[in-house]
Amino acid sequence: MAAFPDVEKIVYEGPESKNPLAFRWYREDEVVEGKTMKDHFRFSVVYWHTFRGTGADPFGPGTMYRPWEDGTDSVENAKNRVRAAFEFMEKLGSPYYAFHDRDVAPEGASLAETNKNLDEVVAVMKEEQQRTGIKLLWGTANLFSNPRYMHGASTSCNADAFAFAAAQVKKCLEVTKELGGVNYVFWGGREGYQNLLNTDMKRELDHMARFMHLAVDYAKEIGFTGQFLIEPKPKEPTKHQYDSDAAACINYLRAYDLLDHFKLNIETNHATLAGHTMMHELDYAGHQGALGSIDANTGDLMLGWDTDQFPTNYYLTAEVMLILLKYGGLAPGGVNFDAKVRRESFEPIDLFHAHVGGMDTFARGLKIAAEIRAEGELDAFVKQRYGSWDAGIGAEIESGSADFEALEAYMLQKGDIEPNVSGRQEMLENLFNRYM
């Protein structure tokens, strides 16, 4: 039985369309800057919010109406859910998806039983991937929900928690490989701390690095060639998350000799919780050669937590796409909608509205960004703003030929600096608006 019997395949109808279940901007084979939209975005649907989100919040239980669910935590129900998920993704036209091990199959009474449950459901996922051609963007292990991880997983004070997490990631790497996943993500759910009075931070950080190295070694051993990604987030659930932002992650990876094996999966709402814009985080990762993938969503100006809303703001997606175009795109990463419908949007059809809107918002953002780049005014402005470095003393500093003595001699002779150019922020913000 179909899970979404009333929905046909979503098609492109163009900007004039008033059909809420049609794309107005996303046309997968439209070429922008030499690449199809499909290849620019590599859109991905997340299993956890879209197929496991119940709408529960701290004040009340779930609200979602999901007729394909039988209300049990059985393997059978999990298999039916896989079929519903692939029907959804096929009708949406999403080429990729992402999951945590525990999203797709129920935990059993022992690790052995849990692994067996996972294998059974993964067999159906593989079948559905083959039937539809939909691919796995990334797998990840849920190392944060089970109470065994209350103190963390690889950073737990309990060595057994580290061992259990290792077993879980080992299995999840095998499954991700089995499904042809092109990335593997670590989001350090409970890898952080609430209070230093009970925490040996250095020891925890050393343990986390050991864990990452073990994962890299095991991937090599089994021939998993997907890209490893770390997903920065500054707080929630712990007060001090170790992977707080792009710069902190890159410093950590470099310090522990992991930078050759990892890139970053940057999430919009995590960037803003860290007090950064998404653009900042992307550019930081980009210029460090660590831009891997994005979790696309948005926060809420009025709320200071990870609201995981679908992106609907062209300004935001135009900024994101400017940076992605600047660094040559994301592949093998993608644009993964780590976003959930609001608790009040309880009907299955709302899942379509949310994703169609997100994809269209990105497509429009791409077109705006490509136009800005084609006109070249922004780039030209930045280039001339730094013009003092292109010749004379600036060029000598950059090339390393001017030392402190030479710079002192230069300044003694010149006397003082002259202001060279205005920042023109307001003019540039107006310029950006011209393309909206």
Residues making contact with Co ion (CB under 5 A): 267, 295, 338
Q: Are 235 and 178 in contact (CB under 8 A)?
A: no
Options 44, 94, 140, 176; binder of ligand XUL; rule CB under 6 A: 140
Q: Is the CB of 23 or the CB of 262 nearer to ligand XUL?
A: 262
* 191 sits near ligand XUL (criterion: CB under 6 A): no
Distances (CA, A) of 94 to 28, 227, 337: 10, 20, 10
Q: What angle do CA 391, 407, 422 make, to 5 degrees?
A: 55
**Token pair recorded at residue 387:** 């013009």
**Token pair recorded at residue 222:** 């089994």
Annotate each residue in 352-371 with x if it binds ligand XUL (CB under 6 A) or - if it does not, as one string.
Answer: --------------------
Q: Is the CB of 300 or the CB of 398 nearer to ligand XUL?
A: 300
CA distance 70 to 319: 42
Q: Is the CB of 115 or the CB of 265 nearer to Co ion?
A: 265
* 114 sits near ligand XUL (criterion: CB under 6 A): no
Options 101, 204, 267, 283; binder of ligand XUL; rule CB under 6 A: 267
Q: Is the CB of 3 or the CB of 153 nearer to Co ion?
A: 153
Annotate each residue in 204-233 with x if it binds ligand XUL (CB under 6 A) or - if it does not, as one string.
Answer: ---------------------------x-x
Specify whether 207 is catalytic.
no
The CB density around residue 38, as the number of other CB atoms within 10 Å, is 15
Which DSSP state fits 85?
H
156-193 burial code (b ≥16 CB/10 A, e <16): beeeebbebbbebbbbbbbbbbbbebbbbbbbbbbbbb
Nearest Cα residue to 122 out of 44, 184, 180: 180
Residue 276: its H or E element = none
Residue sitting closest to ligand XUL (CB): 187
Options 306, 318, 320, 334; binder of ligand XUL; rule CB under 6 A: 306
**Token pair recorded at residue 233:** 């987030």
Q: Which of residues 310-339 bind ligand XUL (CB under 6 A)?
A: 338
Catalytic hit among 40, 49, 103, 306: 103
What's the min distance (Å) between Cβ of 243 and Co ion? 12
Q: Is the CB of 155 or the CB of 269 nearer to Co ion?
A: 269
Specify whether 245 is catalytic.
no
Catalytic hit among 40, 100, 270, 280: 100
Q: What angle do CA 262, 96, 369 make, to 5 degrees?
A: 75
Q: Are 43 and 335 in contact (CB under 8 A)?
A: yes
Torsion of CA 234, 238, 239, 243, to 10 degrees: -30
Contacted entry of Co ion, ligand XUL, none for residue 360, CB cut-off 5 to 8 Å set by kind: none
* 252 sits near ligand XUL (criterion: CB under 6 A): no
Contacted entry of Co ion, ligand XUL, none for residue 306, CB cut-off 5 to 8 Å set by kind: ligand XUL
* 295 sits near ligand XUL (criterion: CB under 6 A): yes
What's the min distance (Å) between Cβ of 231 and ligand XUL? 5
DSSP helix/strand/coil, 137: strand
Long-range contacts, stretch 373-382, CB < 8 angstroms, 24+ apart: 373/33, 373/322, 373/325, 377/431, 378/428, 378/431, 378/432, 381/424, 381/428
Contacted entry of ligand XUL, Co ion, none for residue 346, CB cut-off 5 to 8 Å set by kind: none
Q: Is the CB of 281 or the CB of 295 nearer to Co ion?
A: 295
Residue type, 92: L
What's the min distance (Å) between Cβ of 188 and ligand XUL? 9
What's the min distance (Å) between Cβ of 270 and Co ion? 7
What's the min distance (Å) between Cβ of 295 and Co ion? 4
Nearest Cα residue to 183 out of 287, 71, 90, 263: 263
What's the min distance (Å) between Cβ of 9 and ligand XUL? 28
Contacted entry of Co ion, ligand XUL, none for residue 140, CB cut-off 5 to 8 Å set by kind: ligand XUL
Q: Which of residues 66-105 bind ligand XUL (CB under 6 A)?
A: 100
Contacted entry of Co ion, ligand XUL, none for residue 191, CB cut-off 5 to 8 Å set by kind: none
Which DSSP state fits 387?
G
Q: Which of residues 32-51 bind ligand XUL (CB under 6 A)?
A: 48
Q: Within 13 Å and on the Cβ side, how many CA atoms surround 70?
A: 9
Which positions are catalytic?
A: 100, 103
The residues of the shown chain that bind ligand XUL, judged by CB under 6 A, are 48, 100, 140, 185, 187, 231, 233, 267, 295, 306, 338
